[in-house]
Amino acid sequence: MTMLLPLPWFARGDLRQRTQQIASVFARHGLSWMSFQLGLGDLAGLDRAPRSPGATSPVRQKQAEHLRLALEELGGTFIKLGQAISTRPDIIPPEYAAELEKLQDSAPPVPLPDILQVVREELHQSPEDIFAQFDPEPTASASIGQVHSCRLRSGAEIVMKIQRPGIAEQIEQDLLILGGMAEWAQAHTGFAREYRLVSLVEEFAHTIHGELDYRAEGRNADRFRVNFINEPALTIPRVYWRYTTSRVLTMERVHGIKISDTAELDRAGINRTRVAENSVRMMVREAFEFGFFHADAHPGNFFVRPDAGIVLLDFGMVSQLTPQLQDTLLAMGLALVQRDALRMTEDLYALGVATDPALRPVLQRDIEHLLARFGSAALRDLAAAQMLNELLGIAFRRHLQLPSEVVMLFRVIIQSEGLGLVLDPNFVLLSYAGPFLLSIWQQRHSPEIMTAQLARGTLEAAQITLQLPRQLSHVLDQAERGTLQVNISPEGMRDIMQQMHRMVNRVALSVVLAGTIMGLGLITVAYHPAQWERPGGIIIIVTFLASLAFGGLLMWSIFRTGGE
C-alpha cells in the first residue's frame, strides 16, 4: 500500500486539474520515474517504483520517445519546452536531445470567426475595413498562433500572424505549474540542484513570454533589417506597425523557394553553392559582427530569391552574444585551429562553465582526446557538427552547463552545416566560415580598435584616479567615527562558517561537561554540610547522569557527521 504525501502547492486549487492531467499523461506513457522526480507521483496515485532514466541506451531511447509523445499530448507550452530542452545536449542524454528535436509545433486551425474576432479586438476595426482579401485557410497553424495570407485595401500583400484565443492564459497556468515542479525537484533531487532547474525554467518562461508578445518579434525583425541594411544578399520582410499588436503581427509578404527544395532550385537555375555561401556568411555576421542572431535555423524559415539571395522569416527566437562571449568563442576557434587543448580549457573556464580547479586537468585531457580524434586534418576538412557534438558530449559527461546563448549558437551552426550539405554535398562549413571569422577577428583586433580600447581604458582609469581621494577621505572619515563596516561574503563562506559554529559549540559543550563532572567530584569530596547526604547524593547522581547523557549525544553527533 502506497502512503500518499501532502500535495505540493502547485497541485492544489485552480491548478489541480491541469497538474493532475500532466501527471496522468506521464503515467500513461510509462514516465512514473519522472512524475516522482517532479513531485507529481502521489497526485496520480502511481506505484512508487520509479524507473531510472537510463541504465542502457535502448531503455533511454524508448523513454525519450514516450517523453516526446507525452509532451505532444500536453500541447503548446510543453511542446515549446521540449523544443527548448532539445537544444541543451549539454544537460540531457543524446537520445533525449535527438528525440525531442522531432517535436513539431503544429495544432488544429482555429475556426475563422474566432480568428477574425481577435483581429477586431486588437485592431479596433472590422476586418472588412482592413482587408481586400483574407485567405480563410491558414498557411501555418502552430500552438501559439496561426498565419494567414491577406491583401490590404491599399493593395499591399501581407501575412498576418494571429494569436490563438486563450493561449496566453493557458501558458501562464502551465508556467506556474512548471515553476512549482522545478522548485520541488530542486529541493528534493540532486540532478535538479546541480543543473539549477529553477533557473532553466525561468529562462524558458522569459523566452516564451517573448514569443507571446508579437511586438517583440517585430522589433527583432527591424533590428535585423538595420544590421543588414547594406547586405544585398539578404531580405528581411517589413513590419506593418499600424496593424501590429501584442497578439497580431503583420509583415510584408515575400516570395521565394524553400531553401531545402533542391529540385525547385535546380528548375529555377539557382546556383545552390552560392545559396550555401550566402547563408553561412549571414550566420557568421549575425553572431560575430552584430552579436544578435536568428536562433531558429530550420529550413522553413529560409527562402531563396532568384539571384540566390536569402529571405529570412520568423524572428520569435533570437539570441545575443556579448562582446566578451564573442571574443572567447573566437579565441576557442583559434585554439581549435592551433590544436591547443590548454587554451581551449582556459576558454571554457572563461565562459564560466567550469569553476572547480580540480576538474581542469580532467577537462584538458578530454579536449586533448577530442583534438587527437581529428588528427592532423586541415580545418577546412573538419565537420563542425561532429566537433560541436563531441564538445557538448564532454560538457554532459563532466556536468558542465554552457551558457544558453552558446548552446543556441552551436545548434545554429550544426543546423547551418546540415542545410549546406542539402544544398551542396561537397559543402564544408568551416571552409566557408573560416575566412569570414578570420576577417572579423582581424577587425576586432585591428590597431584602430585596440587604440580606441586603450583610450577608453585610460579614460576610465583617469576617472577612477580623480574619484579616489574623495572616496578615500570618506572611508577614513568613517573609520575615525567608528562607523566603518567591511562585509566579506565569498562563495561557500556560509557553509564554512556553519561548520565552524558547530565545531565551536561542541568544544564549548565539552568544556562545560568536563567542568561539571570535575565540579561534582570536588563537591563530593570537600563539601559535607549538615543534612546534605541524602538530597545531595540525589542531586549529584542526577547531574552526573545528565552529564553522561549530554556527553553521549555529543559523541553521537560527532560520529554521525563523520567527525566534522
Q: In whole angstroms, give the CA distance from residue 71 to residue 89.
A: 18
* Total-model pTM: 0.70
* Distance, CA of 169 to chain centre: 23
- Active-site option among 42, 90, 296, 347: 296
CA dist 225 → 152, 214, 235, 284, 289 (Å)? 23, 17, 8, 16, 14
Q: Residues 499, 501, 507, 511: what is their CA dihedral angle, to the nearest 10 degrees?
A: -170
CA dist 406 → 193, 224, 353, 358 (Å)? 21, 19, 11, 24
Per-residue model confidence (pLDDT) at position 545? 73
CB atoms within 10 A of CB 113: 7
Per-residue model confidence (pLDDT) at position 385? 77
Q: How do beta strands 140-141 and 145-152 pair?
A: antiparallel
Joined together, the cell numbers standing for residue 446 give: 585591428
Q: In whole angstroms, give the CA distance from residue 23 to residue 38.
A: 9
Per-residue model confidence (pLDDT) at position 46? 44
- DSSP character at residue 239: B
Tell me the Ramachandran region of residue 375: left when phi exceeds 0, alpha when psi lies from -120 to 50, beta otherwise. Answer: left
Per-residue model confidence (pLDDT) at position 234? 95
495 is catalytic: no
Per-residue model confidence (pLDDT) at position 55? 45
Per-residue model confidence (pLDDT) at position 150? 95
Per-residue model confidence (pLDDT) at position 522? 63
Q: Residues 522, 523, 525, 527: what is their CA dihedral angle, to the nearest 10 degrees?
A: 140
**Residues with Cβ < 8 Å from 202, sequence gap 6 or more?**
179
Per-residue model confidence (pLDDT) at position 512? 64
Q: Which residues pair with 133 in a beta bridge?
A: 151
Closest listed residue to residue 431, CA positions, set 381, 376, 374, 371 = 381
Closest listed residue to residue 415, CA positions, set 306, 235, 228, 260 = 260
**What residues of the chain score a pLDDT lower than 50?**
1-5, 44-55, 491, 563
CB atoms within 10 A of CB 455: 10
At residue 99, what are phi and psi to the nearest 5 degrees?
Answer: -70, -40
Q: In whole angstroms, give the CA distance from residue 239 to residue 434.
A: 34
Report pLDDT digits (tens) over 334-346: 787 777 888 888 8
**Residues with Cβ < 8 Å from 367, sequence gap 6 or more?**
341, 344, 345, 394
The residue to which cell 541506451 is assigned = 57
